[in-house]
Structure 1
Amino acid sequence: MRVSASKPIYVETFIHTEMESIWRATQDPAKHEEWDLRFSRIEYIPKQDEEEKQRFRYVTNIGFGLRIEGEGVTTPGKYQDQERMSALQFSSDQAISLIQSGGGYWRYIQEDQGVRFLTRYDYKTRFYFLGKWFDRMIFRPLMGWATALSFDVLKIWLEKGIPPKISYRQLLIHAIVTFGLMFTWIYHGLVPKLLTQDAQELALLKGVIGSEANAVLLLQVVGMLEIAAGILCLLLHREKALYIFNIAAMLLLAIGAAISDISVFLAPFNPATLNMAVCLLAWIGCMTLAHLPSAKHCIRKQP
């Protein structure tokens, strides 16, 4: 089985900062490991000779107590008035590492308003055609995404002064909120409305429209709309209007339940508690939107 060669990974961003600031943030291992999602730890290996190239070790934690370790060599290129370059080669001897060896470069181009920062790198994989297939379909897109996300975190750090750990924590909170809203809408649309018809919800609708058959049909329609709302929570999770919609919808549903049967507010996990929880979740999601990092903010195709 033959797998076609994959394209090198290319990521580019523009950072409104000085050349020295981005140079320090990318060439100092302690600073580098703060913003680069691909590495958990980076450390320089002491040189035996000043003329020797700078070698480094890297560690990437992949979960379940496992980690990938490797070594590399970085070579700062010649400085020019408006441009710098840093080349690197890396490899790992670990049998579980998909990446066997690779190389690439970082390029820094000074422009009027800041620095254009870009990278291009490629690597060889283990595990023959299975490794190449897995790399092409899953691992390489993931590496490209992680590189682009890391570049945007670096950009936010240098432009806004927001530390990378805060950006990643904000992104995690945003992801949890997105999943929470999506799951809530889809579950309440699927389980008590389509898979089964909740007796209490049927009674509420029947009290409004008077017909049980129409109440069942309306309940199913509402279920499909709620599933659609859950899908929108995923697709539009970076839109402020989505969170305003969630808050407004919860308030309107609570008012509708109160008009239909005020006694439902006496039950455990009633509209007052559930809808308020969703409103607060949506409010938190809205708060995370400011300076939220995204891989989409970077250029991913080489000009």
Structure 2
Amino acid sequence: MSSIQIARYFIAFSWLYHGIFPKLVHVAPLEKVITASLGFSDELSYFVTKSAGVTEVIFGLVFFVLYRNQTIVLLNIAALIGLLFFVALFQPLLLIEAFNPVTTNLALIAFSFILLNETKRNLNER
């Protein structure tokens, strides 16, 4: 399997997984903490979490299909950086927890740059 496909599958899987399981199937306690830090009511926090889950699933599917589109890959990088800053601003202690957004997001950003470089190289070789 090529590095392009590994990056594609891993990035799309991450968006899908993080949208489906900790937000849609079962709202994870950590998700509740993050949305509660915004000062929303319990009902609005629930809605925001579910909406974020749907958005992540949609983006994961779009990414899976359009992974060669530079704009989509750059949106992925921007979203991951934005989410990392969001956590740093509202829940900075999460940055030092196990399996934290620093390691997750940086790995996905690295895969995104690999994807950008490999797709660009493949286009130049044609």
TM-score range, shorter chain: over 0.9
TM-score by length of 1: 0.39
Among 59, 63, 67, which residue is 1:229 paired with?
A: 59
- The residue aligned with 1:287 is 117
Question: Counterpart in 1 of 2:20?
Answer: 190
**Equivalent residue for 1:264, pick from 91, 94, 104:** 94
Instruction: Measure, in 1, the Cα distance between the counterparts of 2:121 and 2:89.
Output: 41
Spell out, residue by residue over 1:203-256, the C-alpha distance to the aligned partner (whole angstroms, 9 max, x if none).
111110331111111100000000011011111111111211111111100111
Alignment partner of 1:243 is 2:76: no
Distance in 2, Cα, partners of 1:197 & 1:227? 15
Which has the larger Rg? 1
Q: Distance in 2 between matches of 1:266 and 1:290?
A: 35
Identity %: 23
User: Which structure shows the higher strand fraction?
Assistant: 1
* Aligned positions of 1:153-168 closer than 5 A: none
Higher helix share: 2
When residues 268 and 210 of structure 1 are mapped into structure 2, their CA distance, relative to the original with a 3 A threshold, is: same
Root mean square deviation of aligned Cα: 1.5
Q: Which runs of 5+ in 2 are unaligned?
A: none
3-state SS, counterpart of residue 245 of structure 1: helix
Q: What amino acid maps onto 2:77 in structure 1? A: I
> 2:36 maps to what in 1?
206
Gaps of 5+ in 1: 1-168, 298-303
In the TM superposition, residue 291 of structure 1 has moved relative to its aligned partner by: 4.4
Which residue in the other structure is 2:105 paired with? 275
TM-score for the superposition, normalised by structure 2 = 0.92
Q: Take 1:275 and 1:175, find their aligned partners in 2: how far apart are those partners?
A: 19
> What residue identity is the alignment partner of 1:235?
V
Give aligned pairs, total.
124
